Each structure stands twice: as C-alpha cells, then as structure tokens.
A and B are shown apart, each in its own frame.
Chain A
C-alpha cells in the first residue's frame, strides 16, 4: 500500500516535472498540420498506403506538429497546386441564420484552416509510376495565408525505386522537408544498431535497421553471443563484445565493408563494453586485466593501452562527451549498488552523478554534451529499470517511463529530440523510440528479443 502510494506520488511529481524542462522540444504552441492521403497511379498505387503511413508517422513522431484529425478532413483534397482555388465570395448572410461555412469540399484553403480541421498547414500530393520509378509529388501550403500564391511553402518531386522500400524512402524525404520548415533535423538515413536473438539457437548478433524499424539487416554472424554495440561518430566503425573466442572479447567491424578490423585485446578474462572516442581514433572499454573490471583506453588497434579508473569495484560502460571529448561518464559499483559517475579523460575528478538510490546504468550522451539519458531503478525494486534524462551540470533529472516492464539502454537520436531504448513491456524485449518528453512512443522491432539500441548517423 505504502509502496503504491509512494509510486503514485512519484508518478504525479514526475508528471508535474515532465514536459521539456531539460530538452527543448518545441517553442510555444504546436502548429497543426493536415496531411490527406496521397493517391497512387499505376505501379505506385499499391505502394501509396506505405507512403502515406510513413509520412503520417514521421510527422507525428517528430513532436513538432500536431496532426489534424483525419475524420474531419474534407472529402475532396487537392492532389496538385492547380486543384486549389479561391473560395467564392461568401453569400450575404440572412439575418438570424448562422453564416454558411465556405465549402469547396477541400479545394479551398479555408476548408483546411477553418473548423472543424483547424489546421495551419496542409501537406498533399500524389504518387505515380514514371520510367519504372516511384515518383511522389509533394506540396506544403500554409493555409493561414489567404493568397494562394503566397501560401505555398514548397513543392517537390521525390524519386525512388518502385517498391516498399522506395515508397518509405520518398515518404521519409517528404516528411523531412516538411519538418525542416519547423527546425527539425531529419532522421531519414540514420540507422539503429542493436542486439537480437532472432538468429536462434541461443545466439545473439548485432543487427541494424532504419530509424523507423524498416530494413532490418544482420551485421555479425559469429554463431555466438555478440552484444554491447557501439558505433563511431562518423558511422564507419562498429565495436562490440563477443564470446566468439570464448571469453568476452572486443571486436571491431568496418561498417561499409562489414570487414573485421583487428583490435588487440588485453590478456584478461573479460574485455567488454567498448565505446569510441568522438574522433574515432581511440576505444574506451572495461577490462579485468588487473582484477576488477576497470576503465581503459587504447588506440583503435588496441595499442597504447592505459588504465583510466582506479578502484576496487566493477566499472563498465565508459561514454565520452561527444561535444567536448573531455569527460567520461561510466557505471561503477564503488559506492555500493551500481551508479553513474563522471571523470576526466585522464581518470581524475571522479564524481557520482546519480544520488546513490536504486541502481543506475546505461548512460548515453545527448549530442549537446550537456545531458545524458540513462536507466535507473530509483523508486522501484531492483531490476525495474526506467528511462531518465539528467542535466549533467545541475544533476536535475526527469523520468520518462513509469514501471511498464524493464526499460533500458536509452541512446539519443542524432536530432537530439528522440530516444531509442529497449523494453519488455509487451512480454519479450523490443526496441522502442520516443520523444525526449516520453511522448510518441513507437515500437520498432517485433522479431525475437532485441536489446541495446544505438542510434547512429
């Protein structure tokens, strides 16, 4: 009972604290956008549904815009700019009668800006097959501008292959162009690396997928357990821990060719949790070379190895500040249960960032180098992890998930607005993305169990 009450209080307090105190997601009130479905012609016709869904989700996921309710849309939305027309001058209203709503059935901007749609923007267009390609003609209009010629924000052709992947790619590009109007960096073209057991037989491998969960592809095939992926800032190298040689060892792959890049592992029972420095020239990792797992740094080939941390405690998961390259957050048990600490690149000035309550792990830097996301069991029994964000300077934290299963390994999207993490809230462990305020939750994986997502360029 008391626990329930405490949890409830925590939840209420956290909700009050919620919003975007830490990560600025939007300025003022959200703009409302209407995005009626594109219709497809020829070979593009069966792909239109994929295109429409992708555009809608990208816009919604961004958190920058509110989606106008589709059920209020007029029945005959425009397909190209020439479909739009100026409304007829309103008929003189009779006395005592309500003013007749101007209604062009969707062909006038006021059909969208007025009630019941009440949109600020209108995204529309059509898709077709041309020379064996998928072609989408996208438009964005500011429907609050009365003059048709001034209302157009942009119109653009999107070319892609005539298949599902092509339709998704064109949709991501169209959505990205819309969101760019509102200051958003596009996530199209970014990849999420993660661990999956979908290969079966007790094995785990590193996989990659597009930022929206599409196009899953297997990266490693060691018929073993490969885990804790890390990707260099330039997106060219993947480092991970693998049992391919027996004990946990660090392997590096070049991502463009998926070739193995030799990394000299120290002669220790465990070398694990690798992470690249922002310049991609060095690797931080945890090694039991001298007993307890401690933080080390070495060149990308394993040479020039130095020990950075010095404690009689387990220390793992070093993560270098991507902005300054001058400090490391890591996980240590030096004060008891695992907590998050920070130190300089030379191992000096160690401070604990989390309060010591519960257990904390999985720190991930925000691209701004000022915030981290991490997993914490504070307020819950051991093992009940939730996602938190911390302002590293002030130690102020915001909780984003509330006890729905185990929520772990949050990492930031390159846009600094989205997070990706794993959760077993649906039974098996799956990868989810959400906005930095906890909204717009989206499940990205369904096959097997999936863990430890890393959002890369």
Chain B
C-alpha cells in the first residue's frame, strides 16, 4: 500500500523532471484517478452477503435474513428489522411480497443491498364439500329410491315368495331411513286392483298393509314407526284393465306422512 503510493509519487516526479529536462512538448497526462486512493483510505462498507433463506415462503411461514457487512459503523434493515450488527440473522414473517433493504453506513460511505422475500398466498380452498347425500334427500325421495313396493296375488294378503325377498331388501332401507329421520312415521299403504268391490277392498288393503307391517316388525323394524293405511282401490297407480296393470295395483307401498 505504502509502496504503491511511493511509486506513484516517484513516477510523478520523474515525469515532471523528465519533461523539464528534455523539453519535449508537454503531454497531457491522464487525469489522476483519486478515487482508488480515496477508497484505499476511506472505502464505504462492503456488504459481503445479504440473503433471505428461503427466499420464497407461504404466507404465514417465516424466512431467515442473513447478512454479513464489513466496514460499516451503522447497519439498518428496513421493514421493521431495525439496526443490526455487522453479521447476523433475523427471522422475519412478512405478510406479502417484501423487499428488505439493507443500508450500511461507514466512514467511507454507504452501501446498499436488498433481498426479496416472495410470499405465496395459497389458492382459496375449494368450496365446502357437499354434505353426504342422505340428509339432502327428502323422506319421500328416500322411500321411493331405497324401498320397493311389495306385490300380492288377487284377493290375497299372504306374503308371496318374491314379496318376501323384496321385504328383506326393504328392511335395510327402512331401518336406515328411520335412523336418518328419527321423527318420521312411515305409511304402509295397502292397495288393491279394480276388480273386487270397493268396500271389500278397503278391508283387503288393510290386510295387505298389516301383513307387510308384521313381516317388517318381526325383522326388527320398529312397529310404532309404521302406520298401516288401506286405500282399497281408491288410488290405483295404473288404470288399464289388464293383468299387468292389476298386478301393479295389488301392492303395499311405503310413503311419507
């Protein structure tokens, strides 16, 4: 350092002396660059490093600022970090994208550095998942999808073999429905085809509803939640005078009250 200063001085003297001696036309010497000399003497602080780790966080997570500065007398970091030591770390939890600025002041000047912390905001959550299918269906809808009609022979109220199978399937459906609708009482409707007399069919429809109810209660479906009601031939679901239509009407149907 000192050597270099001496050399510069010697060279300057030689050049001046030489010019004077040789009497050569004067050559404009390059302007001296004083800065290096100044820097050598009073250089600004040097920011060796200023980082954020990690530089990308999710909102709510924190990042660590890490810095190393030389030759500074005062170091400040904005965004609320404040005055810090020359070397250090600081945990920060920015709310949004933030550029942290570091200002290092020293006798020789000021040095700046900045680092950005990118805060990723997660996308909004999907709308709440639709609640499970069961509660949205009405009692009537559940009955029409989960419980099937039970069919009978003409002028009979005995449970046929196929009706037995149907009722076995209905047990599960009815149990689930009664569980999901704890206050519901389900109508067990007895229906008849058009051929018997209307008055007799009132009694026959009642027998069919009662047979179905007895079957279900013996299988554990609570009897006080089932109400038998005979419609005789007052509410046919099919009005043609054919055997297939009559069969459709000789039924027990489950309905909401």
Contacts and interface: CB of A to CB of B under 8 A. Distances in A.
Contacts of A227: 198, 234
A204 interface: yes
B198 A286 contact: no
A317 B198 CA distance: 10
- Which bucket holds chain B's interface residue count? 20 to 34
Given A270-B206, A383-B194, A333 B200 contact: yes
Interface in A72-117: none
Contacts of A316: 199-200, 202-203
Given A204-B234, A269-B229, A337-B155, A291 B199 contact: no
A268 to B, nearest CB: 9
B186 to A, nearest CB: 13
Interface residues of A, number: 37
A359 B196 contact: yes
Interface stretch (A40-48, A156-164, A241-249, A341-349): A241-249
Given A248-B230, A375-B197, A382 B206 contact: no
A131 B27 CA distance: 153
Interface string B203-225: 11011011000000000000000
Contacts, number: 95
A315 B229 CA distance: 17
Interface in A304-336: 314-317, 331, 333
B228 interface: yes
B234 A269 contact: no
B154 interface: yes
Contacts of A333: 155, 200, 203-204
Given A272-B202, A292-B203, A359 B154 contact: no
B198 A314 contact: no
A57 B101 CA distance: 115
A269 B228 CA distance: 6
**Interface SS of B by simple majority:** mixed
A238 B203 CA distance: 22
A385 B234 CA distance: 18
Contact of A288 (B200, B206, B227, B234): B206
A269 B209 contact: yes
Contacts of B90: none
Contact of A338 (B197, B207, B234, B241): B197
B234 A331 contact: no
A228 B232 CA distance: 12
Given A314-B204, A333-B155, A382 B195 contact: yes
Nearest to A377: B195
A331 B197 contact: yes
B195 A383 contact: yes
A269 B203 contact: no
Contacts of B194: 383
B188 to A, nearest CB: 9
A361 B199 contact: yes
Contact of A286 (B203, B210, B231): B203
Contacts of B209: 269
Given A246-B229, A361-B197, A270 B202 contact: yes
A359 B197 contact: yes
A137 B197 CA distance: 48
Contacts of A243: 231, 234
Interface string B175-209: 00000000000000000011111111011101101
Contact of B199 (A228, A246, A385): A228
A402 B59 CA distance: 91
A399 interface: no
A451 B206 contact: no
B23 to A, nearest CB: 133
A228 B197 CA distance: 11
A305 B78 CA distance: 98
A362 interface: yes
A376 to B, nearest CB: 10
A292 B196 contact: no
B155 A452 contact: no
Interface string A240-263: 010100111000000000000000
A60 B81 CA distance: 117
Contacts of A270: 202-203, 206, 230
Contact of B200 (A204, A361, A451, A452): A361
A411 interface: no
A136 B7 CA distance: 159
A274 B174 CA distance: 35
A375 B197 CA distance: 9
Nearest to A316: B199
Instruction: With a 10 A CB-CB cut-off, give which of B203, B207, B257 has the most chain A CB atoms.
Output: B203
Given A269-B227, A359-B197, A383-B193, 20 more contacts: A225-B235, A227-B198, A269-B206, A269-B210, A269-B228, A270-B202, A288-B203, A288-B206, A293-B202, A293-B206, A293-B207, A317-B199, A333-B155, A333-B204, A337-B155, A361-B196, A361-B197, A362-B199, A382-B154, A385-B197
Interface of A: 202, 204, 225, 227-228, 241, 243, 246-248, 269-270, 272-273, 286, 288, 291-293, 314-317, 331, 333, 337-338, 359, 361-362, 375, 382-383, 385, 408, 451-452
24 contacts: A202-B235, A248-B229, A269-B227, A270-B203, A270-B206, A270-B230, A272-B199, A286-B199, A288-B206, A288-B210, A291-B210, A293-B203, A314-B203, A314-B206, A315-B203, A316-B200, A317-B199, A317-B200, A331-B197, A331-B199, A333-B200, A359-B197, A382-B155, A383-B193
